[in-house]
Amino acid sequence: MSVHASAVIAAGAVVPASCTVGPFCTIGPEVVLGEACELVSHVVLDGRTRIGARNKFYPFCSVGVAPQDLKYKGEPTETEIGDDNTIRECVTISRGTEKGGGVTRIGSNNLLMAYVHIGHDSQVGSHCILANAATLAGHVVIEDYASVGAFCPVHQFCTVGQYAFIGGGTIVTQDVLPFSLTSARRENKAFGINKIGLTRRGFTPERLQTLQKAFRLLLAAKLNTSQALEKIRGLEGADTAILADFIERSQRGIIK
Q: Are strands 147-148 and 165-166 parallel, antiparallel or unpaired?
A: parallel
Give catalytic status of residue 83 as yes or no.
no
121 is known as an active-site residue: yes
Phi-psi region of 64 (alpha: psi -120 to 50; beta: other; left: phi over 0): left
Q: Which of 47, 82, 96, 121 is an active site residue?
A: 121
Q: Which residue of the set 120, 125, 161, 239 is catalytic?
A: 120
Q: Residue 147 is inside which H or E element, if any?
A: strand 147-148
User: What is the radius of gyration, based on Cα positions, of the chain?
Assistant: 20
Q: How far apart are CA 19 and CA 22, in angstroms?
A: 10
- Distance in angstroms between the alpha carbons of the first and the last residue of the chain: 51
Q: Give burial (CB, 10 Å; 0-12/13-18/19+) of 146.
A: buried
Distance (Å, rounded) from C-alpha 104 to C-alpha 119? 8
Catalytic residue among 34, 52, 138, 167: 138
Known catalytic residue at 120:
yes
C-alpha to C-alpha distance for 170 and 130, rounded to whole angstroms: 13
Residues with catalytic annotation? 120-121, 138
